[in-house]
A and B are shown apart, each in its own frame.
Chain A
Amino acid sequence: MRIELNGEKIRNNFVAKISEISGQNLLACYQCGKCSAGCPLVSEMDILPNQVIRFAQLGLIEELLSCKSIWICASCLTCNTRCPRGVNIAEVMEAIRLILLRKNIDNLKIIELNEKRRVELPQIALVSSFRKKTA
């Protein structure tokens, strides 16, 4: 993947917004990769959890807003528990999801769910997935 960096991107208010919504100091991350090593869903992701933090530090807006990883993360908090720098990676994932959801851009199309599948699911599965993936 070719990535272009410049000062304008890094100083973009997107970076400040992620820090503010997540309450995390993004620059605390020194890219050890422990979050990605322990993530149980990492094999389904297109950008590794440590890369999500790196991209957020660098203000790579398009890459983050279009990645699969933020929707695959199920907030199991294994990364948060293990981060040696105290960065809550799951909170950063949530902040990026919220930036999209607050523009009414849903990831889950409820209407497209197969009806047979919908009735067999427990209530908490539906409520939590709607909470995480729809505006």
Chain B
Amino acid sequence: MKISYYPGCTLKVNAKNFEDSTIASLKELDVELEELPRWNCCGTVYSLSTDDLIHHVAPIRNLLRVKEQNNNKVVTLCAMCFNTLKRANLKVREEPDSLEKINNLMYLEKLKYEGDVEVLHLIEVLRNEVGFSTLRQKITRPLRNLKVASYYGCLLVRPREIGIDDPENPTIMEELVKNLGGDPIDFPYKTECCGAYQTVDHPEIVISRTYSIISSAQVNGAEVIMVSCPLCAFNLDHRQKETKQKYLEFRPMPILYFTQLLAIALNCPENVLKFDLHYVDPKPILKEKGLI
């Protein structure tokens, strides 16, 4: 299976571990990612105002690139990119007027966008296109006894119209963990915001969020937290340094992308996991479980 792939900025730099583990895993699953030519930043946040059409041009231009590849589906991994691309797509599908204006703003492009590209998140591709049962059969190193809490954050599940699962109690990531042979751990903070971009000028807010989210996962028995957003990953992982300084009883916990756990379960080479990008080293717990 071939599918268009929109990486987004962060996957090429700070979240290289997210991209490399994905490409290696999908090779094992016979899915080929065709990276979009000339992709541009999606804008990261969907504009919430009624009169701000210019901010939807960037995501729509990326969807036009999908058509240039003669594809009608695009997959993305970053929760922020997914949300922005999918919401902009929904907006132009519902508002022909806005679509026409955006097309006029992109008058130098050869093609016109017609709302005919489908934006998918990789977890949806794993469930619907590859199939969790096929995936289960290809697992050669199940995540036996590894207790994994799934952290969805905001943008995979809200708003309801574009979410990959129920906005209040999603379970698709837990299903993935189960199919990878691990023990999914439920915890009440799984859809609670990590503070997002407040990490830039208000790190103290993110530190208190990180403390609450990780402590809740620990109380419920988790050994690692699995995420799908590079901003959540940064806040939950790298901000643990300051969290530990502020809350003395705080115990660190490794944060992993779901594709890193997928790559481990599919026995991909260890260099695609790029643990050097992590603040809290996931190796000790993975070694203890015999997974690396």
Contacts and interface: CB of A to CB of B under 8 A. Distances in A.
Given A44-B205, A74-B196, A127 B50 contact: no
Say whether chain A's binding surface is mostly helix, strand, loop, or mixed: helix
B129 interface: no
B168 interface: yes
A131 B197 CA distance: 10
Nearest to A81: B167
B41 interface: yes
A12 interface: no
Q: Most chain-A Cβ atoms within 10 A of its Cβ — which of B48, B160, B231?
A: B48
B234 A122 contact: yes
B125 interface: no
Given A77-B154, A81-B168, A94-B49, A122 B200 contact: no
Interface in A71-117: 72, 74-78, 80-81, 88, 90-91, 94-95, 98, 108, 113, 117
Given A74-B195, A121-B200, A132-B45, A41 B9 contact: no
Contacts of B208: 43
Interface string A4-42: 000000000000000011110000000000000000110
A122 B15 contact: yes
A39 B198 CA distance: 15
Contacts of B203: 117
Interface string B77-96: 01010000000000000000
Interface residues of B, number: 44
Contacts of B196: 74-76, 125, 128
B14 A80 contact: no
B205 A125 contact: no
Contacts of A40: 192-193, 209
Contact of B48 (A43, A72, A75, A78): A75
A62 interface: no
B99 to A, nearest CB: 18
Contacts of A74: 193, 195-198
A80 B50 contact: no
A131 B196 CA distance: 13
B157 to A, nearest CB: 9
Interface in B190-227: 191-193, 195-203, 205, 208-209
A124 B9 contact: yes
Contacts of B43: 127, 131
Nearest to B196: A74
B53 interface: no
B158 A128 contact: no
Contacts of B49: 21-23, 91, 94-95, 98
Contacts of A81: 158-160, 167-168
Contact of B158 (A44, A72, A77): A77
